[in-house]
Structure 1
Amino acid sequence: MSVIIGEKISLKKLFSDEFFFMIPEYQRPYSWEEENCEQLFDDIYESNRNNEYFLGTIILQELEGIGTGKKYAIIDGQQRITTLQILLACLRDAVIDTQFKNSNQDKIFQKENLADGIPEKVRIEVKESLFFRKYIQQDNGTVEIKEAAPKNSAQENMVNAVNIFKYKLANLTQLQIQSLIQHISQRCIVIYIATKNFEDAFKLFTIVNDRGLQLRRVDILKATNLSPSVMNESDLKKYAALWEQIEEDLGSELFEKLISYIRTIEVKEKAKDDILKEYENLIFSKNKILKGKDFIEYLNNYKAIYEKLLLDKDVLKGDSREIEYINLLNIMTDFLPSTDWIPPILYYYKRFKEEKILEFIKALERKFVADWVLGVTSTKRVVNMNSILRKIEMSNKSDEVIKSEVMGFDIRILRDKINGDIYSESYCKYLLLKLEYLESEHNIERRYNTISVEHVLPQSVNDKSPWRNCFSEEEHSNWKHKIANLILLSKRKNSSASNYEFKNKKERYFKGRISDFSRSQKILTYTEWTCKVLEKRQEDIIKLLVQ
């Protein structure tokens, strides 16, 4: 390992002519949101002005000398350093005193120093260099930012950060602003760790991460795949841009999920370790996917598959079953208890494309829901999904997967479970939605937002209720929580109407309130609600769900 330098320093030294920074291509764009910026400002402002305030650790790779100083690549800490530069710019433009104003600008933009051989230079080189130069690094830039037209999320986040800081400073007097500038410059400190070797800097990055600081796993994975040790310099910018485009298109949360789905597809086992270690030990080291260009292109391929199958849902575009496919995916995405079923869908499409894709998804959904209803643990459900992944890998034809034993479950026990009282079960709402799906004409796309489960025969019936003419106490107890007696409403329940007798309930409660649900509308066609009606409904429902 090369020489490592570590030191606790104040911000006045960090942003002096001893340090110049650049953000490498593999780093993600500026992504701090308003909440992050507000928290940073409040923490600094409310900290004890008589004591040092610690702003965290930054990890740097030394690149070259600039006059009496050095230029560093920021391996960890670029979001904080960029935000501090934005805060200094806002303070520069808010303070009136020239000495304070110039001091802040010197921390943002280095004037030429012929004596020390230091050229005119920005303190930090960011990806959005022109935007940042105009609105942050240039005098009065934060005042002019109201005229900016952000072109991407990074620029939007910069504008939001400026607006947050300007709002905070607007409530302060000039003396308070000067005091804050002094506190930030003299008593806000960081620990910087620097080394000349990228690999050593990266190791430090992962060590700091393992000690619990808030670094995203995907950022470390990105650095691993955009390292100079696995990719030449001419490709680095291209693939860094591709990585950022994938994350921009999907959004951070979904992007991280896709990384996890790919791990599952490749490993086909329940995660037993940190995702970074599993990628390194179970994927990269075994050459399942090569680091660098291969992995990023592989990631982009799965991103396209995910968009086609689950976001755009246009895999059957023009097919007569297109809406049927979309509606099934909608209820699965919105109402299944986990997303463990997604990796098999992605992998199936990669292997077999559109071939019997709807048949596969129906079989997969039946298997997943059956496991859920049968009380299979979440861990065992993951194991079962991984069995399907292995079957997809071993199969040459789609039917070998769809008709495989890995899709099987005990139909007899499933029938018994659905035939019981389901109202209080976690899968109750989903089964009712599945019935809507099975009994609907798929001529329009359907999405469900606010839905509630309603009993037709009320949960509580007293001896004076008209319901007692049709249901004894024992019959009421037997039928009230069965699926035949339950329907979905597209609005919240009206509890004051729930005990109406059947005729009044239809007219005053159901009518006009259930337009989104075709099965619920059928209630209006019944002239009575009796044990005989419920027996027939239960039989039909069980047959429909189980088959």
Structure 2
Amino acid sequence: MNKDNYELLSLKDIFSHGKRSFVIPEYQRGYSWEKKQREDLLIDIENLFISSYRHYTGTIVASYKRTEEVEIYDIVDGQQRLTTIVILLAVIYNQKKLTVINQNELFSYFIATGVDKGNTIRKFSLNSLLDNFFYKHIILENQDNEEILTKSHFNISNAFDEFSIWLKETNYNHNEIYRIITERLGLLFYAPKDGAEIGIMFEVINNRGKKLSELEKIKNYLIYYSEKNNVKDLKTTIDSNWGIILKNLNQAGYTSNDAENSFLRNCWIVFADTNKSRSYYVYDTLKEWYPANDKTKWQTLKDFVLFLANASYTYQYIFGKKDIQEISKIEKKWLSYMSLHASIASILPIIIALFERVDNQEERGVILELLEKLNFRYYGSGIANRADTSQGDLFWYAHKFFNSYDNYNEEKTFIYDTNWLINKLKSFIESKAHDQLFIEYLTLDKDEDYDYYGWNNIRFFLANYEEFLRKKHDRSTDLCKILASQDKNAKNDYYHKEHIWARKEFSVTDDINNINKRRLGNFVLLEPSINISVSNDRVEDKIIEYFKKTQDQPDTYMLRELKSIFDKSLEEINSQRTKKTWKFWHELYENFLDKREEKLINFALNRWRVDSLKKEVKKIFIRSNTSHNNVYFFNKKEIEY
């Protein structure tokens, strides 16, 4: 091993004065350093102006690839630090305050040579997802047409801006800054050329205490396995697919360690093991099941990498923001609905298995619809919160469907196909989320203390109701817009949940926790500008105000509907009572909320209806003023006042 393989070197030494080129391979994650880490680097540089020693800055581990006109290395570890330093150097170059000698040296050592002759040799390149943006945005300063697509793009752009500001504001000479960066920042450089030794480095990285996601550890172990056993096909598969995995997860918004771990757990459940506890330790389990000293397991590991890549596309289909051509309109519809649920953790493995095994879009659409309804009925409504979550059953369906698809069971009595999965899902709903249970969890019994304001799916539920009303009027709906989180820079551009009968409206009852204030029928979606002046007014005053403010707004059917419901209730109570005492108003408000909740529940029964259930309910009635503890009834004959 040469001495520059392990000694503390300057940046010029590491780049061998322009004779080495470094590449971030496809399997490495994108640029993730943020402002705090970049500020720390700048502080290190500033401190070197008042000292004379070489400052240890970090470690660079590289894997030798080949020699063309220069030696080319893949960066194994330290890519975040090296990328940041090269961005800073590029900004220094672009500001053109160096001497001619330093300006030319910087470009030829750290950016590129041969540009003027049409034979460009890059000295530092990112992976394919980022390199075009990096080169044009940072090196060529061509920012106008470069769209920021990912968090890594955002971080690169921010680094450019922060370094530009720092250089303009600093009192230090640019030539001195350049000298300190390239000669006095000390880096430990380790570049083994033996494949087995390179593989070991990946396991060292996994176990040195740095916080890595399980997905990152898996990648490092797989590279270690492939290098140790000289399995080129496995290494090639990793190189070809890991960038795809990271790109798709990025587009799906799955960029944090926790998000990557969640993705890996779901994939492991489908591919290998339905045990939920072990799924939290995939890295340890995979090393145990596929030890590095057993070279016969390489094909399964290769299959797992391909499985992860395919599953990452599924995540992009569900959570990505871009239009996807590979799936049908009906699939997009149900995936879009599911992406707006508070959680789809329990059904994600089945969705992954479905896209892995079924090519027929129509069949996938049928199962996706069923999954959306199952998830909302059982998990979304809250049934699962007070019962066995039954995740194990759904995980087993996913695992079995993937691993036994199109094969007979042991007794040769049926085939594991889409019909088998549909029957399993319907049986699950029939047993655990049938219509009567669904209704029960959308209504409050009189002795319940639950408050639907805290229901994590209430905005999704009400947005679906608004969608239903708009369709009746031939209006289209963008549920994502309705459910968008508040934008701090654009007020009044989103809908939020609101009480109709305000908790702090005490003219009829001084009970802030009155059941009618907590029930599902007492909530609407509206823009904050509509409610800001009447939030604690009496119900009838709020409804009048809602109606006035929405007459010229075509897409507020939920609010305009309130007036007609209230008018019917007022007519009924007027026929029963002549004196407008507090009892009159209490009965009126309760009657009004009964009627509205009845509409909501009957809508829900239709929206999330599953055909062929044995305990099917077509319609229900809501009456609060009875001797029953529950408020819902399946026919009018049941109602006793």
TM-score by length of structure 2 reads 0.64
SS of 2:8's partner is strand
Contact 2:350 2:397 in 1 (8 A): yes
**Offset at residue 99 of structure 1 (A):** 5.6
| Corresponding residue for residue 77 of structure 2 | 76
Equivalent position to 1:524, from 560, 563, 575: 563
**Offset at residue 497 of structure 1 (A):** 0.7
Equivalent position to 1:343, from 327, 335, 349: 349
Contact 2:346 2:391 in 1 (8 A): yes
SS of 2:191's partner is strand
| Corresponding residue for residue 115 of structure 1 | none
* Distance in 1 separating the partners of 2:68 and 2:390: 58
**Offset at residue 262 of structure 1 (A):** 2.0
Task: Write the mapping of 1:381-530 to structure 2, written as runs, cut at 5 A.
Answer: 382-383=391-392, 385-390=394-399, 392=401, 395-396=416-417, 397-405=420-428, 408-409=431-432, 415-417=439-441, 418-419=443-444, 420=448, 421-427=450-456, 429-430=458-459, 432-433=461-462, 436=465, 439-440=468-469, 444-447=476-479, 448=482, 449=484, 450-462=494-506, 465=507, 468=508, 477-491=514-528, 494-513=531-550, 516=555, 518-526=557-565, 527=567, 528=570, 529-530=588-589
| Corresponding residue for residue 141 of structure 2 | 145
Contact 2:378 2:432 in 1 (8 A): yes
Instruction: Quickly say closer, same or farther: Cα 1:263–1:39, change in 2 above 3 A.
Output: farther
Give the letter aligned to residue 283 of structure 2. Answer: L
* Distance in 1 separating the partners of 2:113 and 2:381: 69
Instruction: Quickly say closer, same or farther: Cα 1:488–1:384, change in 2 above 3 A.
Output: farther
Contact 1:432 1:487 in 2 (8 A): no
Contact 1:62 1:196 in 2 (8 A): yes
Instruction: Quickly say closer, same or farther: Cα 1:62–1:246, change in 2 above 3 A.
Output: closer
* Distance in 2 separating the partners of 1:213 and 1:236: 24
Segment drifting more, 175-184 vs 295-304 = 295-304
Contact 1:302 1:346 in 2 (8 A): yes
Instruction: Quickly say closer, same or farther: Cα 1:166–1:531, change in 2 above 3 A.
Output: closer
Contact 1:9 1:189 in 2 (8 A): yes
Aligned residues with identical type, % of pairs: 17
Contact 2:248 2:316 in 1 (8 A): no
Instruction: Quickly say closer, same or farther: Cα 1:350–1:400, change in 2 above 3 A.
Output: farther
Equivalent position to 1:193, from 190, 203, 211: 190
**Offset at residue 274 of structure 1 (A):** 4.1
Equivalent position to 1:172, from 167, 170, 173: 170
* Distance in 1 separating the partners of 2:451 and 2:384: 10
| Corresponding residue for residue 110 of structure 2 | 108
**Offset at residue 459 of structure 1 (A):** 1.8
Contact 2:465 2:603 in 1 (8 A): no
SS of 2:7's partner is strand
* Distance in 1 separating the partners of 2:29 and 2:456: 41
Give the letter aligned to residue 432 of structure 2. Answer: F
Indicate whether 1:205 and 2:202 are aligned: yes
SS of 1:336's partner is coil
Segment drifting more, 304-313 vs 418-427 = 304-313
Instruction: Quickly say closer, same or farther: Cα 1:381–1:283, change in 2 above 3 A.
Output: farther
Instruction: Quickly say closer, same or farther: Cα 1:223–1:505, change in 2 above 3 A.
Output: same
* Distance in 1 separating the partners of 2:504 and 2:7: 71
Give the letter aligned to residue 405 of structure 1. Answer: F
**Offset at residue 481 of structure 1 (A):** 1.3
Equivalent position to 1:263, from 268, 275, 280: 268
Instruction: Quickly say closer, same or farther: Cα 1:80–1:407, change in 2 above 3 A.
Output: farther
| Corresponding residue for residue 244 of structure 1 | 243
* Distance in 2 separating the partners of 1:372 and 1:39: 49
Contact 1:225 1:295 in 2 (8 A): no
TM-score by length of structure 1 reads 0.73
**Offset at residue 171 of structure 1 (A):** 2.8
Task: Write the mapping of 1:118-133 to structure 2, written as runs, cut at 5 A.
Answer: 124=124
SS of 1:55's partner is strand
> Unpaired segments of 5 or more residues in structure 2?
115-119, 405-415, 485-493, 571-587, 606-616, 618-641
Contact 2:10 2:187 in 1 (8 A): yes
Contact 1:327 1:437 in 2 (8 A): no
* 1:400-437, Cα deviation, whole Å (9 max, x unpaired): 22222377426677655531442342336247437617
**Offset at residue 523 of structure 1 (A):** 0.7
Contact 1:368 1:381 in 2 (8 A): no
SS of 2:56's partner is strand
* Distance in 2 separating the partners of 1:334 and 1:215: 29
Instruction: Quickly say closer, same or farther: Cα 1:172–1:536, change in 2 above 3 A.
Output: closer
| Corresponding residue for residue 117 of structure 1 | none
Task: Write the mapping of 1:84-99 to structure 2, written as runs, cut at 5 A.
Answer: 84-92=85-93, 94-98=96-100
- Aligned residues, how many? 514
Contact 1:75 1:202 in 2 (8 A): no
| Corresponding residue for residue 23 of structure 2 | 23
Contact 2:65 2:74 in 1 (8 A): yes
SS of 1:530's partner is helix
SS of 1:195's partner is coil
Task: Write the mapping of 1:269-280 to structure 2, written as runs, cut at 5 A.
Answer: 269-270=275-276, 272=278, 273-280=280-287
Contact 1:44 1:184 in 2 (8 A): no
Instruction: Quickly say closer, same or farther: Cα 1:407–1:70, change in 2 above 3 A.
Output: farther
Instruction: Quickly say closer, same or farther: Cα 1:205–1:97, change in 2 above 3 A.
Output: same
**Offset at residue 220 of structure 1 (A):** 5.2
Give the letter aligned to residue 172 of structure 1. Answer: T
* Distance in 2 separating the partners of 1:162 and 1:475: 54
**Offset at residue 475 of structure 1 (A):** 11
**Offset at residue 496 of structure 1 (A):** 3.2
**Offset at residue 482 of structure 1 (A):** 1.2
| Corresponding residue for residue 116 of structure 1 | none
Give the letter aligned to residue 199 of structure 1. Answer: A
Indicate whether 1:535 and 2:574 are aligned: no
* 1:29-58, Cα deviation, whole Å (9 max, x unpaired): 863577488436534334454255332222
> Unpaired segments of 5 or more residues in structure 1?
113-119
* Distance in 1 separating the partners of 2:123 and 2:590: 80
* Distance in 2 separating the partners of 1:201 and 1:148: 40
* Distance in 2 separating the partners of 1:488 and 1:121: 58
Instruction: Quickly say closer, same or farther: Cα 1:427–1:288, change in 2 above 3 A.
Output: farther
Contact 1:268 1:390 in 2 (8 A): yes
**Offset at residue 23 of structure 1 (A):** 2.4
Instruction: Quickly say closer, same or farther: Cα 1:36–1:263, change in 2 above 3 A.
Output: farther
**Offset at residue 508 of structure 1 (A):** 1.3
* Distance in 2 separating the partners of 1:437 and 1:304: 31
Contact 1:367 1:407 in 2 (8 A): no
* 1:302-351, Cα deviation, whole Å (9 max, x unpaired): 34444556655789847xxx4xx756544532341464432222323444
Contact 1:461 1:499 in 2 (8 A): yes
Indicate whether 1:367 and 2:378 are aligned: yes
